[in-house]
């Protein structure tokens, strides 16, 4: 059972945030916005509507109607080194006299973001600019994350003179120097937390360095490079929207903030995906037996299949799938990825079951390890335990003389800061410390290497840090899972007009979460098990404010049907959805948590 934290009502805070007062001089604008109290509350809860918000900002968020000033801020040449990058790529592509085109390598990463970023940049350079370019994705198992010394030396021997990283490289100071010493120009494009001392590269494209929006993922950064290249005279007629589908996959799967520019990319990208023009993606959608692709289906169905390539085998298969023009190849690769994901699911299920048995419920920070877990799924184990317990989690497995692993965090808890404070490094951007061999990442996720004799010491320090945070920052003692509830309503408020009204906030994701509502005192009319293993709960409920009876489903019930029936009346927190079955639409409440109603 979780704690329910209800956002304060705007009226209770004494804030005057009536949309009409934001700009009295242009009443046509606020009439167009058609916002009422519930939407204003939801926008306020997400930090989108503030006392100093302008109507232009709200129109940009809600309708993607971009003000010229906002559009100017999204100019790719706002990146500090973009002009230098465009000039260097154009130089590499063009031959002069006896000098042939240079050999270029796109150096990616083995997750969805890295695969999509590699695909975007390779396709544009190869198919549009006719460059001599090859994609490269390092092996998770032999090369590791980021630039690899052996691979740089191999590239130099193959005559590659320009390496462009995507979704990696910003912390690879030593390997950047190796590339420079070998006569390779290195362009680093990345979005991870940069170090205090940047690598010595030919150019760096990073959303936290000189750009107006820091939340782009690796593929989002790659998209900006393509946009800049397309502004040159030779490619002015090119429409970069054909890459919005890949940028959307990456933005969603990397759990980037769905605000401002990312929101714009994803809104457009969902339309592109549902056109089903990309053969590889179409084949993956078909084998998944889904349609009407949305953020949820990307994050929980399509993304894991693409990720499975890098977790278990060769991530370059993901690039091949997303770039193939052959329907036959697309079908073959999509089946391969589908089967890889089934294997990944089995490995994950086994490891999660083991990991759960290793948890001490009295700890404030979970740290689990096992010598037998597959290296490619420890991040999934950490994510699952974080979701189930509401606590930040690190999962480790043995590799050589060290233990390597991944961490996942909860909202508000900066896992990198926790590692920094717990390991005695003294610098948020440091990669080594007294306890850790190396680590890196961002607030919500991390990767690390550690010696076995230091694991328990690290856990002790992390637990101290987390205990202070949870007790002082959130005043939590027993219930670590927190559900942030937007507002309380009654069943009488719910109808299709209400659902369509809140859909204006879609697409949802980090920074713009699905609205969560609370109802107190709902009457339980019936409860029964559903699902192939009878492991889910479905019930019919009503209340005194409604003449209708609503279906409610609970996929993580901690009660049995007879227990819920005996409650008679319940309090619930839930999301609202349109349940479509055989072309029939019904409103359904998707329960997040339930408690017996206390009068």
Residue 335 lies inside a defined structural domain of this protein: no
| 262 & 145 share domain | yes
**pLDDT score for 433:** 53
Residue 318 lies inside a defined structural domain of this protein: no
CB 393 within 8 A of CB 367: yes
Q: Which letter does DSSP use for residue 105 in this model?
A: E
Q: Who's near 67: CB < 8 A, 6+ residues apart?
A: 56, 59, 60
Query: How would DSSP label each residue in 177-221?
Result: HHHHHTT-EEEEE--SPPPSS----SEEE-TTSS-S-TT--HHHH
Residue 331 lies inside a defined structural domain of this protein: no
| 448 & 505 share domain | no
Residue 310 lies inside a defined structural domain of this protein: no
| Domain-terminating residue out of 453, 473, 493 | 473
The closest alpha carbon to 408, from 214, 255, 192, belongs to 255
Question: Taking the model in full, what pTM does it have?
Answer: 0.89
In b/e form, how buried is each residue of 477-510, taking b as 16+ CB within 10 angstroms? eeebbbbebbbebebeebeeeeeebbeebbbbbb
Q: Is the dihedral of CA 467, 469, 475, 480 positive or negative?
A: negative
At 139, which CATH number? 3.90.1640.30
| 454 & 529 share domain | no
Residue labelled with tokens 């926008």: 43
**pLDDT score for 481:** 79
**If DSSP codes are grouped into helix, strand and coil, which group holds residue 554?**
strand
CA 447 to chain centre: 16
| 112 & 248 share domain | yes
**pLDDT score for 15:** 55
| 535 & 562 share domain | yes
pLDDT tens for the 599 residues of the chain, in order: 678 999 988 776 655 544 444 444 444 445 555 567 888 899 989 988 877 777 777 777 877 666 676 777 889 999 999 999 999 999 999 865 556 899 999 999 999 999 999 999 999 999 999 999 999 999 999 998 899 999 999 999 999 999 999 999 998 999 999 999 999 999 999 999 888 899 999 999 999 999 989 999 999 999 999 999 998 867 777 889 999 999 999 999 998 999 889 999 999 999 999 999 999 999 999 999 999 999 999 999 999 999 999 999 999 999 999 999 999 999 999 999 999 999 999 999 999 999 999 999 899 999 999 999 999 999 999 999 999 898 999 999 999 999 999 999 988 889 988 998 876 654 434 444 579 988 887 788 888 999 999 999 999 999 999 999 888 655 555 556 789 999 999 999 999 999 999 998 999 998 899 999 999 999 999 999 887 777 799 999 998 877 889 999 999 888 999 999 999 999 999 999 998 887 889 999 999 999 999 88
Residue 413 lies inside a defined structural domain of this protein: yes
- Which tokens go with 159? 């005559």
**pLDDT score for 26:** 44
**Beta-sheet strand order (sheet of 132-136):** 132-136, 103-107, 160-166, 185-189, 203-205
| 45 & 180 share domain | no
| 427 & 489 share domain | no
**If DSSP codes are grouped into helix, strand and coil, which group holds residue 295?**
helix
Q: How far is CA 438 from CA 36, 369, 464, 552, 594, in A?
A: 50, 17, 21, 47, 42
Residue 253 lies inside a defined structural domain of this protein: yes
d(CA 461, CA 413): 15
- Do the strands 445-450 and 482-485 form a parallel or antiparallel pair, or are they unpaired? unpaired
**pLDDT score for 68:** 72
At 393, which CATH number? 3.10.310.30
Residue 241 belongs to domain spanning: 76-275
| Number of compact structural domains in the chain | 4
The closest alpha carbon to 417, from 380, 381, 392, belongs to 392
Helices (H) and strands (E) in the chain, counts: 22, 18
| 155 & 240 share domain | yes
| 162 & 216 share domain | yes
| Domain-terminating residue out of 224, 248, 275 | 275
Residue 311 lies inside a defined structural domain of this protein: no
| 460 & 556 share domain | no
CA angle 244, 245, 247 (to 5 degrees): 60
d(CA 577, CA 278): 29
At 576, which CATH number? 2.40.50.460
| 103 & 249 share domain | yes
Residue 548 lies inside a defined structural domain of this protein: yes
| Domain-terminating residue out of 215, 245, 275 | 275
CA 94 to chain centre: 37
Total Cβ atoms within 10 A of residue 93: 19
CA angle 164, 165, 170 (to 5 degrees): 125
| 163 & 254 share domain | yes
């Amino acid at each position: 059972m979780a704690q329910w934290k209800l956002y304060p009502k705007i009226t209770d805070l004494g804030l005057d945030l009536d949309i009409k007062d934001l700009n009295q001089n242009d009443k046509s604008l606020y009439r167009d916005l058609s916002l009422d109290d519930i939407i204003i509350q939801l926008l306020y809860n997400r930090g989108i509507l503030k006392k100093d918000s302008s109507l232009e900002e709200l129109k940009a968020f809600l309708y993607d109607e971009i003000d010229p000033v906002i559009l100017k801020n999204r100019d790719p040449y706002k990146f500090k080194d973009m002009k230098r990058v465009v000039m260097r790529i154009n130089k590499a592509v063009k031959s002069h006299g006896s000098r042939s085109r240079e050999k270029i390598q796109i150096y990616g990463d083995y997750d969805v973001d890295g695969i999509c970023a590699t695909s975007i940049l390779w396709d544009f350079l190869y198919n549009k600019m006719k460059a001599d370019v090859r994609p490269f994705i390092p092996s998770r198992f032999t090369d590791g994350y980021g630039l690899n010394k052996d691979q740089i030396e191999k590239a130099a021997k193959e005559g590659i003179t320009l390496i462009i990283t995507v979704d990696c490289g910003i912390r690879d100071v030593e390997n950047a120097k190796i590339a420079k010493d070998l006569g390779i120009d290195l362009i680093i494009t990345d979005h991870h937390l940069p170090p205090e001392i940047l690598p010595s590269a030919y150019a760096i494209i990073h959303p936290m360095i000189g750009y107006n929006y820091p939340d782009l993922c690796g593929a989002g950064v790659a998209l900006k490079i393509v946009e800049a290249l397309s502004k040159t005279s030779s490619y002015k007629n090119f429409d970069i929207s054909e890459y919005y589908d890949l940028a959307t996959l990456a933005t969603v799967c990397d759990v980037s903030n769905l605000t401002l520019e990312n929101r714009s990319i994803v809104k457009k990208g969902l339309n592109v995906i549902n056109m089903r023009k990309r053969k590889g993606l179409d084949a993956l959608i078909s084998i998944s037996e889904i349609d009407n692709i949305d953020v949820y289906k990307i994050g929980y169905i399509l993304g894991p299949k693409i990720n499975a390539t890098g977790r278990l085998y060769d991530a370059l298969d993901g690039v091949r799938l997303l770039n193939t023009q052959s329907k036959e190849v697309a079908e073959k690769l999509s089946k391969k990825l589908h089967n890889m994901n089934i294997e990944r699911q089995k490995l994950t299920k086994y490891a999660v079951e083991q990991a759960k048995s290793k948890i001490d419920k009295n700890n404030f920070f979970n740290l689990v390890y096992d010598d037998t877990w597959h290296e490619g799924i420890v991040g999934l184990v950490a994510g699952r335990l974080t979701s189930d317990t509401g606590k930040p989690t690190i999962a480790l497995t043995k590799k050589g003389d060290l233990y390597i692993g991944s961490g996942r965090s909860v909202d508000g808890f900066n896992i990198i800061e926790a590692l920094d404070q717990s390991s005695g490094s003294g610098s948020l951007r440091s990669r080594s410390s007294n306890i850790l061999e190396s680590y890196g990442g961002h607030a919500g996720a991390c990767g690390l290497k550690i010696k076995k004799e230091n694991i328990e010491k690290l856990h002790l320090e992390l637990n101290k840090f987390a205990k202070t945070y949870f007790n002082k920052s959130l005043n939590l003692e027993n219930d670590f899972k927190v559900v942030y509830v937007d507002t309380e309503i009654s069943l009488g408020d719910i109808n299709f007009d209400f659902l369509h009204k809140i859909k204006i906030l879609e697409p949802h994701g980090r920074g713009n979460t699905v609205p969560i509502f609370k109802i107190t005192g709902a009457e339980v009319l019936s409860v029964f098990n559903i699902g192939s293993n009878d492991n889910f709960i479905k019930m019919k409920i009503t209340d005194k404010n409604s003449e209708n009876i609503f279906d409610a489903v609970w996929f993580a019930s901690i009660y049995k049907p007879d227990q819920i029936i005996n409650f008679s009346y319940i309090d619930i927190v839930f999301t609202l959805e349109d349940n479509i079955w055989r072309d029939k639409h019904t409103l359904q409440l998707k329960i997040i948590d339930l408690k017996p109603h206390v009068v």
